[in-house]
Chains A and B, each alone.
Chain A
Amino acid sequence: MPKILSVDDSRMVRLMLVRVFKPFDCEVLEAADGEAGLAVATRERPDLILLDYNMPVMDGITMLQRLREDPGLKRTPVIMLTAHSGPESIATVARLGVRDYVTKPFQDDQLLAKVLRVLPLVRSAGA
């Protein structure tokens, strides 16, 4: 079953993502900051990471840089979930090989379209 790791300091946003992916056969893992996100990523080897930009302890950019330095995680696809998608932010994450970005708040369909381009998900039976 595919694993999606949600790294966001807002529990509301993490639970929102759990709801969005509930109809699909996948497991949604959660972490509240970049440091915790790295620990979960190292342990669980997710198939996709949805990563917030601004977070306490370790921000999304630092986590992304650390992921790219790790031979076991450097190819893990990352989609940024950001409140602010200014040109500098986009350029920075593009240099770090981010697959896409989604501006918060988002419509479910808008997020799913971008995720499905990176990670094929199958709807659960009965969903």
Chain B
Amino acid sequence: MMPDSSDPGLARIGREAFSEVLATLLSKSVAIRESSGIAFHDDAPDLLASTIRLIGPKMDGDIQVHLPAAFAMEVARIVTGPDASIPDTSGARIDAAGEIANMVAGRVADRLASQGFSVTLGTPVVHSTPCSRLESLPGTRGARIEVLCGEHPLMLEIRCRQPVH
């Protein structure tokens, strides 16, 4: 396990990254409030989980963003505007879910880099329900951040570990 002095404060990093990305994408048009123990059901029928690998010399891990497909489409419609009229297809939902996670992972990676843990990002992999959760393996540190964005429950999980050489 990483020594305490190397602890990057994953929960704080995740909370800041998640809030920043949502506020920028939605132009603060939707209330975002932190919540724990919200009605977040892993087996909800329209839930998507987007996972991104973090790969670095001192740390690697995963970031996973869980979000309802309806929320992914809402974000896509807000950011592309009314003229784009994006149809609600599986491809559009997966694209939006992957890109939202990519943006969150980017903000997390920026913060990790500023603390000496430089990482590169993998390509988002999006799964629909039942969502597989990140494993808690020995030697990993993690954080789970739950927010309500409007009526949509969202969750961010981060798991980091020191690579074995």
Contacts and interface: CB of A to CB of B under 8 A. Distances in A.
Interface of A: 10-13, 15-16, 18-19, 22, 54, 56, 82-88, 103-107
A85 B120 CA distance: 10
Contacts of B120: 84, 86
B143 interface: no
Given A84-B109, A105-B21, A105-B24, A19 B98 contact: no
A107 B24 contact: yes
B11 interface: no
Interface residues of B, number: 31
Interface string B111-141: 0010000111111000000000000000000
Given A11-B95, A83-B106, A103-B106, 13 more contacts: A12-B76, A12-B86, A12-B96, A12-B99, A15-B84, A16-B80, A22-B81, A54-B122, A82-B106, A83-B103, A84-B106, A105-B24, A106-B24
B11 to A, nearest CB: 20
Contacts of B79: 12, 16, 19, 105
Contacts, number: 77
Contacts of A105: 21, 24-25, 79, 103
A72 to B, nearest CB: 30
Nearest to A10: B99
12 contacts: A12-B86, A12-B96, A18-B80, A19-B80, A19-B81, A19-B83, A54-B123, A56-B123, A83-B106, A85-B110, A87-B118, A104-B106
Nearest to A88: B118
Nearest to B104: A83
Which of the listed residues A19, A106, A107 has the most CB atoms from chain B within 10 Å of its own CB? A19
B123 A15 contact: no
